[in-house]
Amino acid sequence: MDKVILYEDLSEDERAKLLDTMLDFWIKIIEITIPTFGKKAGREVSDIVRNEMPKIAEEQLSGILIYLKKGL
Protein backbone atom coordinates (compact mmCIF):
# COMPACT_ATOMS: atom_id res chain seq x y z
CA MET A 1 0.00 0.00 0.00
CA ASP A 2 1.23 3.50 -0.79
CA LYS A 3 2.18 5.76 2.08
CA VAL A 4 -0.10 8.75 2.64
CA ILE A 5 1.77 11.99 3.27
CA LEU A 6 -0.20 14.83 4.81
CA TYR A 7 0.30 18.37 3.59
CA GLU A 8 1.18 19.56 7.10
CA ASP A 9 4.01 17.01 7.22
CA LEU A 10 5.71 18.47 4.15
CA SER A 11 8.66 20.79 4.51
CA GLU A 12 8.38 24.35 3.23
CA ASP A 13 10.39 23.38 0.14
CA GLU A 14 8.13 20.40 -0.54
CA ARG A 15 5.03 22.58 -0.13
CA ALA A 16 6.48 25.14 -2.55
CA LYS A 17 7.26 22.41 -5.11
CA LEU A 18 3.74 21.01 -4.79
CA LEU A 19 2.18 24.45 -5.29
CA ASP A 20 4.47 25.10 -8.29
CA THR A 21 3.39 21.78 -9.81
CA MET A 22 -0.27 22.70 -9.34
CA LEU A 23 0.33 26.11 -10.93
CA ASP A 24 2.17 24.56 -13.88
CA PHE A 25 -0.78 22.22 -14.40
CA TRP A 26 -3.32 25.07 -14.47
CA ILE A 27 -1.13 27.22 -16.69
CA LYS A 28 -0.88 24.35 -19.20
CA ILE A 29 -4.67 24.09 -19.24
CA ILE A 30 -4.90 27.81 -19.90
CA GLU A 31 -2.36 27.60 -22.71
CA ILE A 32 -4.54 24.95 -24.33
CA THR A 33 -7.68 27.09 -23.98
CA ILE A 34 -6.15 30.28 -25.42
CA PRO A 35 -6.88 29.25 -29.04
CA THR A 36 -10.49 28.59 -28.06
CA PHE A 37 -11.19 31.69 -26.00
CA GLY A 38 -8.75 34.15 -27.51
CA LYS A 39 -5.40 35.51 -26.36
CA LYS A 40 -6.77 38.35 -24.23
CA ALA A 41 -9.00 36.03 -22.21
CA GLY A 42 -6.17 33.52 -21.93
CA ARG A 43 -3.78 36.17 -20.60
CA GLU A 44 -6.34 37.40 -18.08
CA VAL A 45 -6.98 33.89 -16.80
CA SER A 46 -3.26 33.15 -16.77
CA ASP A 47 -2.63 36.26 -14.66
CA ILE A 48 -5.35 35.20 -12.22
CA VAL A 49 -3.81 31.74 -11.94
CA ARG A 50 -0.34 33.13 -11.29
CA ASN A 51 -1.57 35.64 -8.73
CA GLU A 52 -4.43 33.82 -6.99
CA MET A 53 -3.84 30.08 -7.39
CA PRO A 54 -1.05 29.75 -4.80
CA LYS A 55 -3.43 31.10 -2.15
CA ILE A 56 -6.35 29.01 -3.42
CA ALA A 57 -4.23 25.86 -3.65
CA GLU A 58 -2.95 26.38 -0.11
CA GLU A 59 -6.53 26.73 1.13
CA GLN A 60 -7.65 23.63 -0.77
CA LEU A 61 -4.76 21.53 0.52
CA SER A 62 -5.41 22.73 4.07
CA GLY A 63 -9.08 21.83 3.63
CA ILE A 64 -8.14 18.35 2.47
CA LEU A 65 -5.89 17.99 5.49
CA ILE A 66 -8.70 19.01 7.87
CA TYR A 67 -11.05 16.60 6.08
CA LEU A 68 -8.56 13.75 6.53
CA LYS A 69 -7.95 14.58 10.19
CA LYS A 70 -11.67 14.53 10.97
CA GLY A 71 -11.99 11.21 9.19
CA LEU A 72 -15.03 12.34 7.22
Collect all residues with Cβ–Cβ distance below 8 Å to 27 and sequence separation of at least 6.
Answer: 46, 49, 50
Dump pLDDT digits (tens) for 13-69. 888 887 777 777 777 776 766 666 666 666 676 677 677 766 766 666 665 555 455
Distance of alpha carbon 36 from alpha carbon 30, whole angstroms: 10
**What confidence score (pLDDT) does residue 72 get?**
40
Collect all residues with Cβ–Cβ distance below 8 Å to 34 and sequence separation of at least 6.
Answer: 41, 42
**What confidence score (pLDDT) does residue 33 get?**
66
Distance of alpha carbon 34 from alpha carbon 41, whole angstroms: 7
Distance of alpha carbon 54 from alpha carbon 61, whole angstroms: 10
**What confidence score (pLDDT) does residue 55 get?**
72
